[in-house]
Structure 1
Amino acid sequence: MTAEAAMAIPVLVVFALTLVWALMAASAQIRCVDAARAGARAAARSEPEAQVLEAARSAAPGGAEVAMERTGELWRVRVAASMPGPGPLALKLHAEAAALAEDTVGVTQ
């Protein structure tokens, strides 16, 4: 084995592991977005809070935190999840979705 190969192989392994980590982080972020949307849709349909939270948690990455609130005519659902990684690669992922509450549709003021 040459010296160039001895240097190149560890660099390629680290590069491949970084790519795998980045793909896992992107997948977890997409799951957070999907979970927030699912929760907001459920809340907009006036489902009970427990069902809204369950809908969001079932689509979220494991260990995600889910919060919901109503502000005016909108239901907002926030999802936050931790993405483990070595040192500075550990991330806190966030997503938020809002949906118009169905009980406000067609109501004139």
Structure 2
Amino acid sequence: MRPCERGADRGFVTAESAVVLPVLVLFALALVWALLVAAVRIQCVDAARTGARAAARQDPPDAVLEVTRAAAPSGAEVTVGRSGDQVRVVVVARPPALHGLPFEVREEAVAWAEETVESVEADP
């Protein structure tokens, strides 16, 4: 058996590191971006729920929009609507990084209007 020649193996670690390091950096960036998307999604859910509660209490439309936008991520689109006995709030936002990707976070909350809940509870 021949002894291992150190000269033949020279540079392999450097070459392997040069290939693996960019992959690890891209993986780390993908993880950070996923965390940012999750944070935006949580903010959108909270904003939609807050807006739906305010709309269900029959707050003025301007106040509902103001409360929802305060809880939403910056630059988010807020839509408030009513369909029969239900109020619906939709919050759409883009994640803060990589604006070039066609990716949006859309969350929606629905609540019963309070005058409807009172009339349903009063009926035997």
Q: TM-score, normalised by structure 2?
A: 0.80
Identify unmatched segments of 5+ residues in structure 1: none
SS of equivalent to 1:16 = helix
Identify unmatched segments of 5+ residues in structure 2: 1-12
- Paired residue type of 1:101: A
- Paired residues in the alignment total 108
Deviation at 1:104, TM superposition (A): 1.3
Deviation at 1:106, TM superposition (A): 2.8
CA shift digits 1:61-92 (9 cap, x unpaired): 110000111111100000111224265x4411
1:85 to 73, 91, 98: 98
Q: TM-score, normalised by structure 1?
A: 0.91
1:37 is aligned to 2:58:
no
Which stretches of structure 1, 4 residues or longer, exceed 4 Å deviation after superposition? none
Deviation at 1:39, TM superposition (A): 0.2
Percent of aligned pairs with the same residue?
54
Deviation at 1:13, TM superposition (A): 0.8
User: Contact (CA 8 Å) 1:85, 1:91: kept in 2 or not?
Assistant: no
Map residues 1-109 of structure 1 onto 2, 5 A cutoff.
2-83=14-95, 84-85=97-98, 87=100, 89-107=101-119
Structure (1 or 2) with the greater strand fraction: 1
SS of equivalent to 2:62 = helix
Q: Distance in 2 between matches of 1:86 and 1:48?
A: 34
